[in-house]
C-alpha cells in the first residue's frame, strides 16, 4: 500500500489515479459530486469491492466529504446552514446503520484535549446534547421516541496509558449502544482543507489518524456496533509539504531543462524519506497548521456539534 | 442516618458524638492524631464494626485525614514536603491493598473539569506519570519491577449521560488493574478545610460527594478491585453555613436570655429545611467557596498528583 | 453611609427605605419599571440630587437594571432577543453621552480573568467587534460613519501591580476616545440575581465592586471622558447571606414569641460584624456562588458582548 | 536589507556571511561562545557600529542567545538550573541599563494569549512576582531595597484595536518605570530552535516578530526608558521551510549532476516568493510548529518567568 499521508478518501483516490496514470476511477470506486450551496461542495466516494479497498486503503463503505469554502470564520447563520446540510447526510447514514428511531447512540470524541490541533473531538463532545441519563432518571424531560444520546472523550494512549479501543470497548459492553459516532482530527495533504473539510464515513475509524500514531480501529468488526466516523483535517504533516514542494520544483526544472533523467528518477521514487531525513529532525513531530488554529477549532466545533445534534 | 452534609469521616464522628452528647468515641471507632510537622496534622479514624459504620455512615475501613495549615499557596519546597508526607501514608495503604510491587494501578479522576470546584480529579489525572503503555510498547523506558500506571477522567453523568460506575467498570473489565486510586472533590462542614485537607480512605468512594448528586459507589464490592479514595474538600454547602449560623445565634441568645424553651426546641430540631426554604432558592445549587478557588485548585493539584506519583 | 454590601442601585434604594421605614422613594430618587417581555423586567432609578446621592451612595445619574428570569441557560434566540433589548437602552445612553455617531469608543473589561467569578469583563472583551485598527489601516473594510471601537482588559492590581485607573488613564491619553464602556462583575445582596441581572449606569464605575477591593473610580471626572458602566452580579458575600439568615430567623422568633426586646435589639443593630466574626474566617474571601458559575459566565458573556456590539 | 525571516541575531549573522561568502564576521560584529553546562550553550553577538547594524538589520547593542538542548520537557531541577544560568546574564544586562538596585521595572508580555504559539508573553506575565503594589500599599511585605515590579500583557492590535506601543507608552507615562523587560515569541529559521532557545537583547523589541505583523518598536528611543527584550522562537514560517527544502534539494542535484547553470541560478536568487506562490495559499498564515506546542510553552513559561524573577 502507498504511504498516502492523508486520511481523506477522495485525496487517496486522486493520488492512486495520479500514481498509476489513470484517467478515471478504477472498478470498485464510484464517485459523485454535488454543489450544496455557494460555499459547500459534497463529494461522495463508494468503495465497493476488495480491489478498491486495497487500492486506496479504505474499507468497503461510503465516504462523504463536505468542502467548506470561506467558512473558517463563519457567522451564526452560516454555521446553522452548514450544520443543517451536513446533518441531513449524517442523518441518512445514521438511519441506514440504526433503523430504530429511538435507539441509543454513543458519541466518542477522539484526540487529546491538551494538544490544540488534536482537540476537536473532546471539544465537540462538550457541546453534544446528552439525553441518556434523562431517559433513565427524568423521562418526562425527553420527547417520546427520541434517541438516547451519551458521549465520552476517552483521551489518548499517551495520557491515559490505555488504548482508546479498550476504553470504548469497556463502555460499549456496559451500556450497549446501537450505534457509535466517532469524531477525530485528521491529516490531509492539502493546506486548503485544514479546518475546512468534513468527512463522514460509515465504516469505523482508526483513532489518531491526524496527529498521533495509528491505533486499534473502532468498527463494527471490533466493537459489534456500527461506527460512523466524522473527521476534520487539522494538520498537514511537514514531510508531506516538503515532498510536495520538491515535486513542484522538479516539475518546474523539467519544464525548463527538458527531460532530465535524474530528475525524472527522483520524481518517480518517493522523496519522502530522503527529505524527511534532511529537513525534519527525528525527535520532532512537526506539523503545518494555520496560526489561527485555536479560533478555527472553535468554529469547526460549532459546525460539527450542531450537525450531530440536528441529525440525532 | 444523620444528614451529615460532610464527606469527612472525622467531622462525621465529631458530629455524631455532639449529637449524642458523648465524651468519647463509641466502640468500633478508634481515632488517633499525629503532628507531622508545623504545618501538617494527621488524623486517623478506624471504623471497626457494623455499629460504627452505621453511626457515621462510612464503611468499615481506615480514614486518614491530613490537615494542611498555611499551605494554600505553598512554595515548591512546601509542596514537595507535603507530598512526601502524604505519599508515605498513601504508599502504606496501597501496599496493604496490593502486595505485588509491580501490580497495575488505574487512577480515576472523578468530577467535572468544566466546573471549577469540581475539577480537582480531572486536573490531577493530567499530572499522573503514566507507565502502562510504556511497559507494553516501550519496556526499556520503564524500571524493572515498577508499577504499571494508567489514568482516566470519566466525566460526570450530566455531561456524558453515562454513570461513572458504568465507565469505570467497563475499563476495569478490559484492562484488569489490581488497584484503583480515585480522586474526588468533597464537601466539608468547615470553611477552614476547603482546599486544606486531604482524606485518604481504603474502602472506595461514592462519586459526586462534593458538588454533585450521589452516584453508584466505586469499591471492591462493586468492581472486584480494591479502591483507595483520595478526597479534598472544595466547597461547603450554603445551607450548611446558614444552619451553622443559626446554631451560633441560638446559642448566643440562650446565653443571654437564659433557657428559652422555644429556642431550645429550634436548636434540637434541625433548622436545615426551614432555613433552606427561606434563604436558598430551590432551583440553585449554591456553594460557598473561596474567591481564589481557581488558584487553590492548582496548588492542591500539585500536592495530590505528586503524592500519588511518589507513592507509586 | 450604610455598608450596603451591594453594587446595585435598586437594592440600595430598597435597603435605604427599609432601614428608614419609608413607604416611598425620597425626593431626588425617581424610579420606574417596565416589562420588556415575559423574561425581562427593566428597572430605572434616576439619582437627581446630592441628597439622593448621599442616601444610596451612588453618584447623580441614571441606573437601568434588567432582571432576566429563566435565562441562565438561554438558547441562541433568547440570547439574541435579550441582547437586542439591552442594546436599545445601552444605545440610548451611549448616544446621550457621545452625540457624534462615528466617535471612538474604548471598551474596558474589568476584573481578573483567572478568577472565575471575576472574569466576565475580560471574557466580554474577547467578543467585542474591534474596528479602530481597521479604520486606521484598512478603512475599506469599515462602513462609513461607523464608530471606531477598541477594547482592553487591564487586569487587576494584584496581578499587574498597577492601578486599573493608571492603565486606563494612560491609554485614554494616548488614543483619546470620546466614550468609555466599562464591564465589571458586581456584588448583589440577592442570590436570585447572580448572573441574572444587568445594570447599566451612565456615571462611571469603581473597579472591583464585585469580588475585589474598591479602587480608584473610572469616570468623566477622573478621566475627562464619559464612562458608561455595565455590571452583572456574580457573587453574594458570605457575610451578607449569614446576616440575611439571622434576620429571617429573628423575624420568625418574634412572630412566635411575641415582641421580645432582646431580639428586637439584635435585629436593629447590625449583626453583620458579630456573625462574621463567629462564622467567617478572617483570612478568607468567601463567596456564595452557583456551582455552575463557569457555564453561567459563558452565557452572560454572550448576552453582554452582543448587547455592546449591537449598540455600537 | 535581506528578508531574513528570522528574529535571531546569530542566525542573521550567519545568513549574512553565507550570502556574501564571508569566512568571518564583518567589522562591527563581535561574537563569542560559551558552554554553560552539558545542556546549555551561550552565544553573544555585539553589534558595534552602523555598518554592522545595517548588515544584519539589528540595532547597535548586545544579543545573547542561550541554546537549550534536551530541555523541552525539563524536570524541576533542570528548570531551576536553566533559569539560574539565564538569570545571571539577564541580571547583568538589567544592572547595566538600570544602576539603581531598587528601581521600578515594568515587565511587558507581548503576544496574543488566545493564539497558542503566540501566547508565551502573556503566560510569563502571569508568573511574574509583582511587588509594585506591595511597596505602595503594604511596604512591610517587601524587602528593603528590592526592586518594584509591575507587569502587563497589552494584547495585540487585532484584538484590542490599539497599537501595543500606544498602550505601553500610556502606562510608562503614568507609572514612570526605570526599565522595561519585554517578552515575545519569535520566528527562527531552524526547527531545532523552536521552544529551545532564549535570546536576550538590550536594545528594545519590535512586537509581533514571531507570528504577527511587525509593529512600532518598543525602545529607549521611542519610550524614553531602556527596554531589555527576551524572545523565544516558537514557529518557523512555512515558506522558510520550503525555501530551505529547495536549497537542500538543489545542492543535492548539483552534487550528482555536476554544475548545472540553471540550478545555480535558482539557488542564488531567493526561491522564497516563487515557492510561496506555488505552495502556500495567500489567505493563510501557515506556520510550522511541533504538535506538542501547548506543552512546550508551559515548559518555557516556567524557565523564562523564573529567570526574570531570579534576576529581579
* Alpha-carbon gap, residue A89 to A64, rounded angstroms: 8
**What pLDDT was estimated at residue A177?**
95
Our CA-based measurement puts residue D95 at a distance from the nearest CA of chain A, in whole angstroms, of 37
Q: Could you tell me what percent of chain D has a pLDDT over 70? A: 83
Q: What is the pLDDT of residues A95-151, one digit of tens each?
A: 999 988 888 999 999 999 888 888 999 999 988 989 888 887 777 777 777 889 999
Helix or strand (DSSP H, E) at A184: strand A179-187
**What pLDDT was estimated at residue C2?**
63
* CA of residue A270 relative to chain centroid, distance: 25
Helix or strand (DSSP H, E) at B254: helix B238-257
**What pLDDT was estimated at residue C212?**
46
* CA of residue A35 relative to chain centroid, distance: 20
Q: Report long-range pairs for B214-220 (Cβ below 8 Å, ≥24 apart).
A: B215/B157, B215/B163, B215/B164, B215/B165, B216/B163, B216/B164, B216/B165, B217/B165, B218/B108, B218/B164, B218/B165, B218/B168, B218/B180, B218/B182, B219/B59
Phi, psi (deg, nearest 5) at residue B43: -125, 125
- All residues of chain B having their beta carbon less than 8 Å from the beta carbon of residue C241 are 238, 241-242, 279
**What pLDDT was estimated at residue B261?**
64
Q: What is the pLDDT of residues B100-141, one digit of tens each?
A: 888 899 999 999 888 888 899 999 998 898 988 888 777 777
Interface test with A, best of D245, D286, D293 (most A CBs within 10 A): D245
- All residues of chain D having their beta carbon less than 8 Å from the beta carbon of residue C109 are none
CB-based contact B202:B97 (threshold 8 Å):
yes
Q: What is the pLDDT of residues B210-228, one digit of tens each?
A: 444 557 899 999 999 999 9
Tell me the CA distances in angstroms from A198 to A95, C97, D70, one per residue in order.
Answer: 19, 48, 38
pLDDT band for D19, please (50, 70, 90 cuts).
confident
Q: Please give the residue of chain A at the shortest CA–CA distance from D292.
A: A115
Are B278 and C248 an interchain contact pair (Cβ–Cβ within 8 Å)?
Answer: yes
Our CA-based measurement puts residue A169 at a distance from the nearest CA of chain B, in whole angstroms, of 7
* Alpha-carbon gap, residue D83 to D78, rounded angstroms: 8
Are D159 and C132 an interchain contact pair (Cβ–Cβ within 8 Å)?
Answer: no
**What pLDDT was estimated at residue A212?**
46
**What pLDDT was estimated at residue A173?**
94
Helix or strand (DSSP H, E) at A42: strand A40-47
Cell numbers at A240, concatenated: 508531506
Q: What is the pLDDT of residues D89-106, one digit of tens each?
A: 999 999 999 988 888 999
* Alpha-carbon gap, residue C139 to D195, rounded angstroms: 37
* Alpha-carbon gap, residue D236 to A288, rounded angstroms: 10
Count CB neighbours of D295 within 10 A: 15
Q: Tell whether the model's pLDDT for residue D279 goes beyond 60.
A: no
Intervals of chain A under pLDDT 70: 1-3, 208-214, 243-285
* Alpha-carbon gap, residue C283 to C53, rounded angstroms: 33
Average pLDDT, chain B: 83
* Alpha-carbon gap, residue B272 to B254, rounded angstroms: 19
- All residues of chain B having their beta carbon less than 8 Å from the beta carbon of residue C213 are none
Angle, to 10 degrees, between the axis of helix A261-268 and the axis of helix D238-257? 130
What is the ipTM score, two decimals?
0.84
**What pLDDT was estimated at residue D211?**
45
Mean pLDDT comparison of B295-299, C42-46, D66-70, highest-scoring range: C42-46
Report the Cα–Cα distance between both ends of chain B, in Å, rounded.
Answer: 36
* Alpha-carbon gap, residue C289 to C116, rounded angstroms: 10
* Short-list D33, D41, D47, D100, CA closest to D67: D41
A146 touches chain B (CB under 8 A): no
Our CA-based measurement puts residue C132 at a distance from the nearest CA of chain B, in whole angstroms, of 34
pTM flag (> 0.90): no
- pLDDT tens, N- to C-terminus, chain C (312 residues): 566 778 899 999 998 998 898 999 999 999 999 999 999 999 999 999 999 999 999 999 999 999 998 787 778 888 889 999 999 999 999 999 998 888 899 999 999 888 888 889 999 998 898 988 888 777 777 777 788 999 999 998 888 999 999 999 999 999 999 999 999 998 888 888 888 899 999 999 988 654 445 578 999 999 999 999 999 988 887 767 776 666 666 666 666 665 566 566 655 555 545 555 555 555 556 777 777 788 888 888 888 888 888 888
Q: What is the mean pLDDT of residues D181-194?
A: 88
For each of the domains in chain C, give its residue range(s) and CATH number, in order of start: 9-234+291-311 (3.40.50.1450), 240-282 (no CATH)
**SS3 assignment, position D203:** coil
pLDDT band for B41, please (50, 70, 90 cuts).
very high
What burial letters (b/e) apply to B89-104, b meaning 16+ CB within 10 Å? bbeebbeebbeeeeeb
* Short-list A244, C157, A225, CA closest to D175: C157
Task: Nearest by CB to D281, from A192, A248, A249: name it.
Answer: A192
* Alpha-carbon gap, residue B132 to B179, rounded angstroms: 13
Amino acid at each position: 500500500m502507498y504511504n498516502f499521508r492523508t486520511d481523506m478518501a477522495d485525496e487517496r483516490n486522486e493520488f492512486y489515479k495520479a500514481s498509476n496514470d489513470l484517467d478515471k476511477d478504477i472498478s470498485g470506486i464510484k464517485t459523485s459530486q454535488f454543489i450544496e450551496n455557494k460555499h459547500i461542495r459534497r463529494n461522495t466516494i463508494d468503495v465497493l469491492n476488495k480491489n478498491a479497498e486495497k487500492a486506496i486503503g479504505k474499507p468497503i463503505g461510503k465516504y462523504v466529504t463536505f468542502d467548506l469554502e470561506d467558512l473558517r470564520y463563519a457567522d451564526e447563520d452560516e454555521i446553522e446552514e452548514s450544520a443543517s446540510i451536513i446533518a441531513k447526510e449524517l442523518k441518512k447514514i445514521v438511519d441506514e446503520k440504526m433503523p430504530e428511531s429511538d435507539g441509543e447512540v454513543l458519541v466518542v470524541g477522539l484526540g487529546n484535549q491538551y494538544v490544540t490541533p488534536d482537540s476537536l473531538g473532546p471539544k465537540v463532545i462538550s457541546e453534544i446534547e446528552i439525553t441518556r441519563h434523562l431517559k433513565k432518571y427524568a423521562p418526562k424531560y425527553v420527547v417520546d421516541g427520541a434517541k438516547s444520546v451519551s458521549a465520552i472523550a476517552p483521551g489518548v494512549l499517551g495520557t491515559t496509558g490505555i488504548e482508546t479501543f479498550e476504553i470504548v470497548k469497556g463502555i460499549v459492553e456496559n451500556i450497549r449502544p446501537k450505534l457509535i459516532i466517532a469524531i477525530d482530527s485528521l491529516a490531509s495533504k492539502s493546506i486548503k482543507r485544514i479546518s475546512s473539510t468534513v468527512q463522514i464515513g460509515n465504516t469505523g475509524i482508526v483513532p489518531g489518524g491526524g496527529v498521533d500514531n495509528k491505533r486499534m480501529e473502532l468498527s463494527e468488526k471490533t466493537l459489534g456496533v456500527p461506527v460512523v466516523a466524522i473527521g476534520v483535517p487539522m494538520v498537514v504533516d511537514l514531510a508531506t509539504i516538503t515532498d510536495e514542494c520538491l515535486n513542484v520544483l522538479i516539475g518546474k526544472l523539467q519544464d525548463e531543462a527538458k527531460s532530465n533523467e535524474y530528475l525524472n528518477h527522483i520524481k518517480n521514487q518517493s522523496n519522502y524519506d530522503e527529505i524527511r531525513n534532511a529537513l525534519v529532525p527525528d525527535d520532532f513531530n512537526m506539523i503545518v497548521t494555520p496560526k489561527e488554529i485555536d479560533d478555527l477549532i472553535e468554529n469547526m466545533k460549532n459546525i460539527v456539534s450542531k450537525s450531530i445534534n440536528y441529525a440525532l
